[in-house]
Structure 1
Amino acid sequence: MAEEQACCVVSLSAPPDAPEPCAGPWSCSGVVLSRGPGLVLCQGAVFAPFLRDGRAAWTLHRALLPDALRPRPRALARAFGQAERWRFGGEVAADDGQTLHWFAWLRVPDLDGARGGWTARASAGHLRKGEGLLACGSPFGALCPDLFLNTLSRGVVSNLAGEENALILTDARCLPGTEGGGAFLPSPAGPQLVGVIAASLCWKGAEWVGLTLLCSLDAVLRSSAGVLDEAGVTVPPAPGQVAAVRAGGRQDPLGWVALVECGTAWGSGVLLAPRLLLTCRHVVEAGAPLRVMLVPGPDRAAAVLGGHVVFATEESSPFDVAVVELEESVPGFAPPRLADTFRPGEEVSVVGFGALGRACGPSVTTGVLSAVVAVAGRPVMLQTTCAVHGGSSGGPLVSSRSGHLLGIVASNTRDTTVGATYPHLNFCIPVTVLQSPIARYRRTGDPAAFAGLNRAGEGVRAAWRLQRQPGPPSKL
């Protein structure tokens, strides 16, 4: 495949008598940008122990200080605040993210070929959330290239930040060692290189993240313009826009999602009508004044609206639901179409303000509908493999095939034994549970329409306790 032919592994080591931290060996992934001249772009952090004071000091017991190279982009500082305790995979872990934006250019004469040329690339400035991406890198770097060289992972553009989308978040799963590999945008003309893997996002506090941070190739080329010019390298212009392969259905769930803040608590919400929003009870249970923030779209500007809770399920209810009436109508709102059936194994997506969402707007993650849990023949819980993080609660679960709203996110999986949460097994409330109460409320305006959610039977309660039958509390 073209993606694999454009990627490689870069490894380096110091002389045998070199002191730590230079001893190595060190390795990462790389991407072949050009075969005429032969140029490889890779992660720069692996060179950090060798760079301070130039070649004469390569074996000295000193490393490049984080402030010796270009400062971190503002978008990085905003997205990865120190208070949130991010931990990254690969060599960036020891530097607490300070080397996320370091990349290195390598001149590789052996790659010069008669049929040279630059790898086809695309501009990140035209990316949209939900577009499909294919990442290519080598897990664990040079550890075992016979097994791991140029492994592929498919995902979507989850989020974007910075000038001309300099930072790209994807749910394509990239392990440590893939840093420096390429991210490609599928198109009818063939894959287009759009970004370089900067880090696999491993932990945010006690929450496993399982997403991947990319730096757009545009941003790297802009920052490298002076260096490449001095080396006599001419970079051909990228196409202005690429006809990308879209992921998702006919409706845009980004138009339904909102950030819901209640005191110090916050989460996501789903707009069902111009003034009606669904979220989770635990998002609004503080009882503080509500703020609902709408993301900008083709037909509306960003806005902050007030709202009040007209109904919230009791804490004993298995359904973690709250209904919010907005103080103003959302202009030009197109309501989602609600699903009435569920197909295990179908491709789905979640939209919400988890992971980087509060700093960078809603994120999109994809997966499959892994299970439909039914009681007495009626679906009462949906399980998915989409990456769901703190802040995603109340966000929409959407069918990628039809674009219909399947349900709202309620929780992901928590192992209380070790105090960790895992995003790729999560639980959603089926929209079919809510359809009749919503229709009755819209017809009558009486919040008592939702009272039945508090009277769920023991089978439903057991399912949401993650148990087959009543017993000791589950560890999840």
Structure 2
Amino acid sequence: MARQWGPSMRAAEKAGCVVSASRAGQAEAGSWSCSGVILSRCPDLVLCHGGIFTPFLRAGSAALTAAGAAFLPGDSCGDDLRLHVQWGPAAASLAGRAERGRPGLCTPQCAGPEPGPPARPGGGRLLQPPRPAELLLLLSCPAFRAHFARLFGGEAAEQWRFASAAPDDEVSEEEEEDQLRALGWFALLRLRPDPEEEAAAEEERGPVVAVASPGAVPKGAPLLACGSPFGAFCPDIFLNTLSRGVLSNAAGPLLLTDARCLPGTEGGGVFAARPAGALVALVAAPLCWKAREWVGLTLLCAAAPLLRAARAALGRLGPGTHALAALLPQEMGAPWGLPLRDPGPPWAAAAVLVECGTVWGSGVAVGPRLVVTCRHVAPREAARVLVRTTPPKSATIWGRVAFATQETSPYDVAVVNLEKDLHGVPLPVPAEHFHEAGK
């Protein structure tokens, strides 16, 4: 396992960073922070989530949903915006920093006003002191926004919540609306030059990460998410926290993973085991809620189309930004779009969504009008049950509970009888033999 994930872990920790935004001269106003990905060195380009910039937009969050808004230039935010980026240097440069006597921050102590002493051999890791940065542009992936509106809009939108706070937390309607508007937006930053740092990092000039085309990462592929829970809070503890999972599902550039990510990891990078260490996506929403129930899935935006949008936006901003577009990482692997044409394994198509009031869960079609699910999803006393099949032949069919085990039964099983046939869904065949895992 360590051999499989080693390159991805090194790539994630080398590219991971945390971004903080504040108002000049207004420390009492607080700060906003999120995770980010270092795209290139010398110049240092960083991609992070756009939600932290909402309070600084001159035209307010409505500018993010304006007709045809694919990107916003950096001057869309007020002049009082101050940005800082912090990351942990690669292991190869730690010794060099210590030998040069540069101060750093050493774990396990938390960040204070002054950086701590350099790490001793075998001790904690050194953190790069926060570096000032400038906002080049805010950008979104139009395809991500279109798929999100199709899948989570309409009548079902009120059941879903994509925010850092739990449904019971006190979040104003205005704050929640701002979070939803900024959900598919990201920010491209450029760190301000530091001659001494640039000289030390001359050997690392160029792209820091390779970007995987979504076609190269199939559904079910293992993923590694790298972000900083709670943003800039105590980065010497939480910076570049890793979480493993798989690519749970995909709809164009809108991806889902079961890798658990906490608030503050928005904008963090998600990397693939194969191609080793390739950047697959960025975290768009770390927590999803449906009907006041937490869903253990993280919403992602694929990196490849997002970087394409960044190149196009940089080309339109002016001559001074054309050269930066060439420094963004290039795609590797299969072309975009292959997963959408791949029907996947038959058991994926036989899976359906079962809804009974505010309760919902998965089910398996075992006959043209029969679906097996759990009793706690569709109890015996349920009046009507709604079953939804998966795209592209998505259908909505009502049914009734034909059988459900007793609450005292050790088996949590229910059978739903549908009012209409399920068309285009391959029915599973019972296995003749059972093989224990690992045998």
Residue 5 of structure 1 pairs with residue 14 of structure 2: yes
Distance, in Å, in 2 between the alignment partners of 1:80 and 1:166 is 15
Corresponding residue to 2:36 among 30, 33, 47: 30
The corresponding residue for 2:414 is: 322
Change (3 A) 1:221 1:157: same
Residue 77 of structure 1 pairs with residue 178 of structure 2: no
Task: Deviation per CA, 1:151-210: give whole Å up to 9, x if none.
Answer: 11001112222xxx22111111111111111001111x5211011112211544431233
After superposition, where does 1:114-263 map in structure 2 within 5 Å? Answer: 114-118=203-207, 119-161=209-251, 165-187=252-274, 189-201=275-287, 203-229=289-315, 230=318, 231-232=321-322, 233-234=325-326, 235=328, 237-241=330-334, 253-260=347-354
Read off the aligned partner of 2:146 and give its amino acid letter: R
Q: What's the TM-score once normalised by structure 2's chain length?
A: 0.60
**SS across alignment from 1:88:** coil
Larger RCO (CA under 8 A, 6+ residues apart): 2
Cα displacement (A) at 1:270: 1.9
Residue 52 of structure 1 pairs with residue 67 of structure 2: no
Task: Deviation per CA, 1:266-298: give whole Å up to 9, x if none.
Answer: 64322446775422345274676777554469x
Distance, in Å, in 1 between the alignment partners of 2:235 and 2:355 is 47
Contact 2:36-2:48 within 8 A present in 1 as well = yes
Identify unmatched segments of 5+ residues in structure 2. 1-9, 60-74, 82-137, 166-170, 336-343
Distance, in Å, in 2 between the alignment partners of 1:262 and 1:34 is 49
Change (3 A) 1:40 1:277: same
Distance, in Å, in 1 between the alignment partners of 2:390 and 2:77 is 53
The corresponding residue for 2:46 is: 40
The corresponding residue for 2:341 is: none
Cα displacement (A) at 1:69: 8.0
Contact 1:256-1:336 within 8 A present in 2 as well = no
**SS across alignment from 1:159:** strand
**SS across alignment from 2:250:** strand
Give the alignment's Cα RMSD to 1 decimal: 4.1
The corresponding residue for 1:352 is: none
My pick for the range that moved more, 74-83 or 213-222, is 74-83
Cα displacement (A) at 1:14: 2.1
After superposition, where does 1:268-287 map in structure 2 within 5 Å? Answer: 268-272=362-366, 277-281=371-375, 283=378, 285=380
Cα displacement (A) at 1:320: 4.0
> How many residues are matched?
321
Q: What's the TM-score once normalised by structure 1's chain length?
A: 0.56
**SS across alignment from 2:202:** coil
Cα displacement (A) at 1:214: 1.2
Contact 1:203-1:209 within 8 A present in 2 as well = yes
Change (3 A) 1:259 1:200: closer
**SS across alignment from 1:48:** helix
Change (3 A) 1:336 1:153: farther
Distance, in Å, in 1 between the alignment partners of 2:287 and 2:297 is 5
Task: Deviation per CA, 1:117-152: give whole Å up to 9, x if none.
Answer: 321110124543322110001112221121111111
**SS across alignment from 1:3:** helix
Corresponding residue to 1:16 among 20, 25, 28: 25
The corresponding residue for 1:89 is: 164
Corresponding residue to 1:106 among 183, 186, 189: 189
Identify unmatched segments of 5+ residues in structure 1. 61-67, 243-249, 343-398, 403-476
Change (3 A) 1:47 1:339: farther
Change (3 A) 1:191 1:288: same
Cα displacement (A) at 1:58: 3.3
Distance, in Å, in 1 between the alignment partners of 2:152 and 2:387 is 24
Distance, in Å, in 1 between the alignment partners of 2:249 and 2:187 is 25
Cα displacement (A) at 1:104: 1.0
**SS across alignment from 1:177:** coil
**SS across alignment from 1:75:** helix
Task: Deviation per CA, 1:220-242: give whole Å up to 9, x if none.
Answer: 22332333224112246412429
* Greater helix proportion: 2
Distance, in Å, in 1 between the alignment partners of 2:367 and 2:78 is 65
**SS across alignment from 2:206:** coil
Distance, in Å, in 1 between the alignment partners of 2:297 and 2:357 is 28
After superposition, where does 1:343-422 map in structure 2 within 5 Å? Answer: none
